[in-house]
Amino acid sequence: MMNERILLMTEIIRFCGLSRDETRIRHRFSLNSVQADAYLSILKQQKMLIQNNGKYQITERGKSFLTSCDKINGIKGNPA
C-alpha cells in the first residue's frame, strides 16, 4: 500500500513537469478532490511541487527526486 502511494506521488510529480491544474491531475490519476488535496498537500510540504496561479509545477527538488527514482529503477532493472 505504501509503495503504491509513493509510486502515485512520483507519477504526479512527473506529470507536473508541465504546469497542471488540480482538475487535470484529478482526472489523470482518477482521484477525488479529497485524495488530490491530500497528495498535493504532501508534495507541496515536501517542496516537490509549487502552486503558481492555480497550477502545480515541479520544483528543482522534485526534479532531483525523479532523477534519483530513475536511477534506482535502473539499478533494479525496472523501466522508468
| 2-76 under CATH 1.10.10.10, yes or no | yes
Total-model pTM: 0.86
Q: In this prediction, what percent of the chain has a pLDDT beyond 90? A: 79
Whether the CB-CB separation of 19 and 59 falls below 8 Å is answered with: no
Whether the CB-CB separation of 47 and 56 falls below 8 Å is answered with: no
Whether the CB-CB separation of 26 and 19 falls below 8 Å is answered with: no
Query: So where are the chain's domains?
Result: 2-76
- Interstrand relation of 49-52 and 55-58 (parallel, antiparallel or unpaired): antiparallel
What band does 76 get if pLDDT is binned at 50, 70 and 90?
Answer: low
pLDDT at 60: 98
